[in-house]
Amino acid sequence: MQHQDHEPLAESPPIELQRQQTERLLRAWAPAKGWRYWSEVNNSVVGQWYTGLTIFFLAYGGVLAALMRIQLSIPNNKFMTAETYNQVFTVHGSVMMFLFAIPIFEAFSIMFLPQMLGARDLPFPRLSAYGFWAFLMGGMTLCLSLFFNAAPSGGWFMYPPLTSKYEPGIGPDIWLLGFSFIEVAAIAASVELIIGILKSRPPGMRIHLIPLYCWYVLVAAAMILFAFPPLITGSMLLELERALNWPFFDVSRGGDPLLWQHLFWLFGHPEVYIVFLPSVALVAMIVPTFARTPIVGYSWIVLSAIGTGFISFGLWVHHMFTTGLPGITLALFSAASQAVAIPTGVQIFCFIATMLVGRVVNSLPMMFVFGALATFVIGGLTGVMVAVASFDFQAHDTYFIVAHLHSVLIGGSIFPFVGATYYFYPLVNGKKLSERLGRIVFWCLFIGFNVTFMPMHLTGLRGMPRRVYTYSEGLGLETLNLISSVGAAILVAGFAVFFWDLLRNKDQEPLSERNPWGAGTLEWLQEMPGKPWGVRSIPEIDSRYPLWDQANIVRDVDEGRFFMPDAEEGKREMLITSVIDAKPVQCLRIPGPSYIAFWAALFTGGAFILPTFKLYWAAAACAAIATGVILRWLWNGTAIIPEKERKYIGHGVEVPLYASGPDSVGWWAMLITMLAVITAFVSLLFGYLFYWTLDRDFPPPGMPGPGWFWPTLGTAMLMGSWALTNLVRKWNRQDDARLVYGGLGVSCLLAIAGGAAMIAGPYLNGMDPTQHVYAATIWLLVIWTAIHAGLGLIMNAYCIARRAFGRMTAKYDIDIHNVGLFWHFVAITAVATEIVLVVFPILK
Amino acid sequence: MSNAHTDVEEKSQSLWLLACPPTIWAVHFLGSYALAVMWCRGGGTGGYWLGVSIAAPAVVALALIAIVGWNGWKRHKIPGGEAPHDGDTDEDRSRFLGLATVLLAALSAIATVYIGVAALIFGGCG
């Protein structure tokens, strides 16, 4: 059956109707005023906060870099002490990676994705706001620690035993706990972005017509789900060792510091591509605009994005070539590291081909694109060099690596980011940045970058190790370092001009014309300045470049000739469409301004960050309050039963206002979140298998184990709870209240008993988690499972309350669907724990 | 599947097909890594037989990738339409998903060959 296209209304709606429609839309979407401004959750507002804060962190990390270059400009410099230098380079690396490079893509996407999709907002506005507040709190904690001489100093990848035994202060705790908090926020953002791209496209924007930016962000967000959890697990292990003396990385008690390196780089290498893909996505938006032609090789670029996403998970050991792994392991990872160059190269050829096919218009954003491609290719080539294990043995931990990674990150992230800022800035407040200042910025950054980092290749090959606070005279390093420091000064000048251009008062300047660059993609529909509703009416899309190919689309959108031109009920609404062909399937009501996300972030932040200062009871109190706040958020703000079943959205189309199960965005959010959670659990299993494989005495002979009885009993009860919860879903549909309440009640009891039985295994058998890594790992596995049982308990009790208060009915049953889905993951966790606890010791 | 024109509808298409070839690569890659670690840890010196134990499954992986790739190729080559196949039709969408599957299959095959060849040449544990 051919897809039915909906053409815009042939006639303009009457002027009076248009006026009423815009008035109602404005009222529904009006930003909160005064102090209430900070309760706003609309993507364009939150996106601006997010981007602004990220740029602040960029400046902060940049100042630290400049301080390092001052210290290294001459040999035996006394500008900084070794300890200060250690803190400065650790915070520089951590800030640039965790507080700039990754979040800038989330910030940009939250701000611009709805515009690119012709959507009013993303499906979970409060989740975006929650992510922003979490990011602010976690990031500021790390940045401020430097002023109290309390920052971490073990390098941005925090290798134990340096960070477990030899750094007694609170620095590493701030890093481990604060960043785990930010990583949770990043996972929240990726849930938002994935569902946004798959489910909130305009009608007709089929999967092969979506802007390439969306493909890249989809892949990067999916990568976050699988890359961040290993780091969260690793951070948890390291923090447990530091705080409670559980010996995960302590060799004398069976631990192994190499496990940290595995978990860290399982995150760390994909992370490079999580940074790079969204940046190259910006390039993919800018190039067709200025080449005045559609992108060449759309499918090939999609291949690049997906292929890079996958292969980047098979590279982590190339950061560990010098740790004494078997030769064949090095060969396998070296081969994969070479393979990733293929998809990375393909997209660059696509961009070059697009420029050749079209007629490139000279413009500022394109200069940054050229700068990005040139710089990134250099970094990519040195990357191929260090992917050769034998070369890496020489270059490892020298300034050659510093030069390589900065070429990749500055070419692959900074240049596209600055170029995109000049390109997209009119969408933020309707004004353009200065062309003249922009050119100064470009040349300062381009020249400054090369003068700083090119000599570092040689500095490294001459043997200068990274992370030393000074060096002696007569080693042939003086001139090279001085040149690098001069280059850094030029870079600083460039950034200073850039920040000035962003911050200077532009009140006197005229508004930019609409679509100032003559682009073809939907975000340039926006009026100057933009309206809070995002898009006046939601267009039907027939092309990858609708502004070029669909005649009168701007007029038709503005006059409300497309879908949902009105807010009849005065509510914020958006359109949900199908994944492949973007057919309208639901009108989703989304929440307006509220402080609830702020409070939720504040108290979850307390739960994460207060343990740094050993304030465990305060942290527990925060966790309890956070749970209460989140329940309140869910109770009042989600799965609201609408006043009518369906809503007319125009063009003869009527869609439901409520959907549950796999049809609802909430169900997908639960699924995606739980994929991340189960990945963290798999990382923990990886830890167990790591010890189990490498250590002949794991489990150690003579040491008590958890036994078979309690884990098996616990697993059986949790499986019972799982089965009952999912039966309740069916019974609820049949509206059998007795079975629903009875089933949920029994499943709650089983969850409590099951969780307790899990804990009973190691507890009653007298396992001491500080004695040996075996006991510590078993304890952690059962606690993990018990926490899941506890969450399941809360959810089931929540469903009882929802039904009792009439907020969940036989027909409106989002809650029980999502809870049933959660319990699938509890069941998987319990069974895997059972296998590890009971079966694996027998296999040995 | 019997008729090329009936399987372009939305309900018969899925993004999961795109993920299949690289997933096959990933499973083989991780399996090879685990095998190498256990083999070398178990006191072996590796060498030819370890290399073969990685390269032989690579052939199986390549066959699976080829099957998925062939499926993609059939979707891509449905007759009709005009290049560059970026129109607003079911057929062009199906062609796109087919082509992307073929390309990912090709990339995954190359990456799998890399792994197999690397294992055959450098099979040693030292």
Determine the Cα–Cα distance for residues A58 and A65; give it in Å rounded to an integer.
10
Question: For the residues A573-600, what does the mean pLDDT come to?
Answer: 95
Q: Is A827 exposed, middle or buried (0-12, 13-18, 19+ CB in 10 A)?
A: buried
Q: Determine the residue among B6, B35, B89, B122 to mutate to test chain A binding: the one whose Cβ has the most chain A Cβ atoms within 10 Å.
A: B122
Chain B contact present for A543, CB below 8 A? yes
Looking at the 3D structure of chain B, how many domains does it have? Answer: 1
Partner B, chain A 329-388, Cβ-Cβ below 8 Å: 329-336, 338-339, 342-343
Determine the Cα–Cα distance for residues A578 and A576; give it in Å rounded to an integer.
7
Predicted pLDDT at B79 = 82
ipTM for the whole predicted complex goes beyond 0.85: yes
Per-residue pLDDT tens over the stretch A294-314: 999 999 999 999 999 999 999
Question: At A112, which amino acid appears?
Answer: F
pLDDT at B6 over 70: no
Please spell the DSSP secondary structure of A556-581, one letter per residue: HHHTT-SB----TTS--EEEEE-TTT
Q: Closest by alpha carbon to A195, among A121, A85, A115?
A: A121
Chain B contact present for A553, CB below 8 A? no
Instruction: Give the H/E segment covering residue A99.
Output: none
Please, which residues have CB within 8 angstroms of residue A267's CB and are 6 or more apart in sequence?
A227, A228, A230, A231, A234
Q: Which residues of B touch A208 (CB under 8 A)?
A: 86, 92-93, 96-97
Predicted pLDDT at A292 = 95
Look at the block and give the residue holding tokens 């050829």. Answer: A349
Please, which residues have CB within 8 angstroms of residue A321's CB and are 6 or more apart in sequence?
A330, A333, A334, A389, A392, A393, A396
Q: Please tell me which residue of chain B has the smallest CA distance to A310.
A: B22
Q: What residue ranges in A230-354 does DSSP mark as E strands?
A: none
Determine the Cα–Cα distance for residues A837 and A128; give it in Å rounded to an integer.
39
Please name the residue ranges forming H helices in A146-170. 162-165
Q: Is A638 exposed, middle or buried (0-12, 13-18, 19+ CB in 10 A)?
A: middle
Please, which residues have CB within 8 angstroms of residue A749's CB and are 6 or more apart in sequence?
none
Chain B contact present for A322, CB below 8 A? no
Query: Is residue A328 within 8 Å of B37, Cβ to Cβ?
Result: no
Q: Which residues of A touch B110 (CB under 8 A)?
A: 339, 342
Q: Determine the residue among B107, B110, B125 to mutate to test chain A binding: the one whose Cβ has the most chain A Cβ atoms within 10 Å.
A: B107
pLDDT at B117 over 90: yes
Q: Determine the residue among B28, B114, B117 to mutate to test chain A binding: the one whose Cβ has the most chain A Cβ atoms within 10 Å.
A: B114
Q: Determine the residue among A332, A553, A577 to mutate to test chain B binding: the one whose Cβ has the most chain B Cβ atoms within 10 Å.
A: A332
Q: Do the chains contact at A207 and B37, CB–CB below 8 Å?
A: no
Q: Closest by alpha carbon to A794, among A560, A609, A624?
A: A624
In a domain, B126, yes or no: no
Q: Which residues of B touch A303 (CB under 8 A)?
A: 100, 103-104, 107
Q: Do the chains contact at B115 and A313, CB–CB below 8 Å?
A: no
Question: At A258, which amino acid appears?
Answer: L
Query: Is residue B35 within 8 Å of A338, Cβ to Cβ?
Result: no
**Helical packing angle, A298-311 and B90-121, nearest 10°:** 40
Chain B contact present for A581, CB below 8 A? yes
Instruction: Give the H/E segment covering residue A835.
Output: none
Q: Do the chains contact at A1 and B117, CB–CB below 8 Å?
A: no
Q: Do the chains contact at B26 and A313, CB–CB below 8 Å?
A: yes
Q: Do β-strands A646-650 and A653-656 pair in parallel, antiparallel, or remain unpaired? A: antiparallel
Q: Do the chains contact at A208 and B93, CB–CB below 8 Å?
A: yes
The torsion of the CA quartet A210, A215, A217, A221, rounded to 10 degrees, works out to: 120
Phi, psi of A119, deg, nearest 5? -110, 160
Determine the Cα–Cα distance for residues A599 and A602; give it in Å rounded to an integer.
5
Question: For the residues A544-551, what does the mean pLDDT come to?
Answer: 94
Instruction: Give the H/E segment covering residue A588.
Output: strand A584-589
Predicted pLDDT at A348 = 93
Question: For the residues A219-229, what does the mean pLDDT come to?
Answer: 96
Q: Which residues of A touch B19 (CB under 8 A)?
A: 306, 310
Determine the Cα–Cα distance for residues A748 and A801; give it in Å rounded to an integer.
13
Q: Determine the residue among A308, A328, A671, A682 to mutate to test chain B binding: the one whose Cβ has the most chain B Cβ atoms within 10 Å.
A: A328
Determine the Cα–Cα distance for residues A296 and A299; give it in Å rounded to an integer.
9
pLDDT at B3 over 80: no
Q: Do the chains contact at B10 and A581, CB–CB below 8 Å?
A: yes
Query: Is residue A660 within 8 Å of A588, Cβ to Cβ?
Result: no
Per-residue pLDDT tens over the stretch A454-488: 999 999 999 999 999 999 999 999 999 999 999 99
Q: Closest by alpha carbon to A734, among A678, A645, A680, A813?
A: A813
Look at the block and give the residue holding tokens 């690793």. Answer: A234
Q: Do the chains contact at A311 and B124, CB–CB below 8 Å?
A: no
Predicted pLDDT at A697 = 85
pLDDT at A611 over 60: yes
Q: Which residues of A touch B25 (CB under 8 A)?
A: 310-311, 314
Q: Do the chains contact at B100 and A313, CB–CB below 8 Å?
A: no
Q: Across A159-168, A178-187, A387-396, A454-463, which has the greatest mean pLDDT?
A: A454-463
B41 pLDDT tier (thresholds 50, 70, 90): confident
Determine the Cα–Cα distance for residues A200 and A223; give it in Å rounded to an integer.
20
Q: Do the chains contact at A332 and B36, CB–CB below 8 Å?
A: yes
Predicted pLDDT at B2 = 38
Question: For the residues B26-33, what does the mean pLDDT come to?
Answer: 95
In a domain, B71, yes or no: yes
Per-residue pLDDT tens over the stretch A387-435: 888 999 999 999 999 999 999 999 999 999 999 999 999 999 899 999 9
What is the torsional sign of CA A24, A30, A32, A38? positive
Per-residue pLDDT tens over the stretch A324-343: 888 999 999 999 998 999 99
The per-residue pLDDT of chain A, averaged, comes to: 94
Predicted pLDDT at B43 = 78
Determine the Cα–Cα distance for residues A14 and A22; give it in Å rounded to an integer.
12
In a domain, B63, yes or no: yes
SS3 content of chain A, % helix, strand, coil (to 5): 70, 5, 30
Q: Do the chains contact at B122 and A328, CB–CB below 8 Å?
A: yes
Q: Which residues is A589 bridged to in the sheet?
A: A573
B22 pLDDT tier (thresholds 50, 70, 90): very high
Q: Which residues of B touch A1 (CB under 8 A)?
A: 9, 90
Measured CA to CA in angstroms, residue A65 lies from A136, A264, A447, B36 at distances of 21, 23, 17, 41
In a domain, B9, yes or no: no
In a domain, B3, yes or no: no
Q: Do the chains contact at B107 and A342, CB–CB below 8 Å?
A: yes
Domain containing residue B88 = 14-121
Half-sphere exposure of A533 (CA within 13 A, CB side): 27
Q: Closest by alpha carbon to A666, among A126, A38, A22?
A: A126
Determine the Cα–Cα distance for residues A802 and A815; give it in Å rounded to an integer.
8
Query: Is residue A305 within 8 Å of A341, Cβ to Cβ?
Result: no
Predicted pLDDT at A4 = 62
CB-CB: which of A294, A317, A693 is closest to B41?
A693
Look at the block and give the residue holding tokens 């998925």. Answer: B68
pLDDT > 90: percent of chain A: 92
In a domain, B5, yes or no: no
pLDDT at A3 over 60: no
Q: Which residues of A touch B15 (CB under 8 A)?
A: 207, 579-580
SS3 label, residue A813: coil
Predicted pLDDT at B1 = 39
Please spell the DSSP secondary structure of A621-664, one letter per residue: HHHHHHHHHHHHHHHHHSSPPPSSSEEEEETTEEEES---GGGS
**Number of Cβ within a 10 Å radius of residue A11:** 8
What is the torsional sign of CA B122, B123, B125, B126? negative
Question: For the residues A540-567, what does the mean pLDDT come to?
Answer: 94
Q: Please tell me which residue of chain B has the smallest CA distance to A207.
A: B93
Predicted pLDDT at B9 = 83
Instruction: Give the H/E segment covering residue A811.
Output: none
Q: Which residues of A touch B99 (CB under 8 A)?
A: 299
Q: Please tell me which residue of chain A has the smallest CA distance to B76.
A: A299
B48 pLDDT tier (thresholds 50, 70, 90): confident
Instruction: Give the H/E segment covering residue A27.
Output: helix A15-29
Q: Do the chains contact at B88 and A206, CB–CB below 8 Å?
A: yes
In a domain, B62, yes or no: yes
Predicted pLDDT at B10 = 81
pLDDT at A290 over 60: yes
Predicted pLDDT at A324 = 87
Query: Is residue A751 within 8 Å of A806, Cβ to Cβ?
Result: no
CB-CB: which of A208, A336, A342 is closest to B86?
A208
Would you give the DSSP letter of residue A584?
Answer: E
pLDDT at A1 over 50: no
Predicted pLDDT at B4 = 46
pLDDT at A575 over 80: yes
Partner B, chain A 805-824, Cβ-Cβ below 8 Å: none
Q: Closest by alpha carbon to A632, among A598, A668, A589?
A: A598
Query: Is residue B94 within 8 Å of B13, Cβ to Cβ?
Result: yes
Per-residue pLDDT tens over the stretch A505-527: 999 999 999 999 999 999 999 99
In a domain, B54, yes or no: yes
CB-CB: which of B22, B29, B119 is closest to A328?
B119
Predicted pLDDT at B86 = 84
Query: Is residue A437 within 8 Å of A495, Cβ to Cβ?
Result: no
Per-residue pLDDT tens over the stretch A25-80: 999 999 888 999 999 999 989 999 999 999 999 999 999 999 999 999 999 999 99
Question: For the residues B9-16, what does the mean pLDDT come to?
Answer: 82
Determine the Cα–Cα distance for residues A570 and A590; give it in Å rounded to an integer.
12
pLDDT at B5 over 60: no
Preceding amide of A656 cis, omega within 30: no
Please spell the DSSP secondary structure of A672-709, one letter per residue: HHHHHHHHHHHHHHHHHHHHHHH-TTSSPTTS----SH
Q: Which residues of B touch A2 (CB under 8 A)?
A: 89-90
Determine the Cα–Cα distance for residues A829 and A722; give it in Å rounded to an integer.
11
Residue A372, min C-alpha distance to chain B (Å): 25
Q: Determine the residue among B3, B10, B13 to mutate to test chain A binding: the one whose Cβ has the most chain A Cβ atoms within 10 Å.
A: B10
The per-residue pLDDT of chain B, averaged, comes to: 88
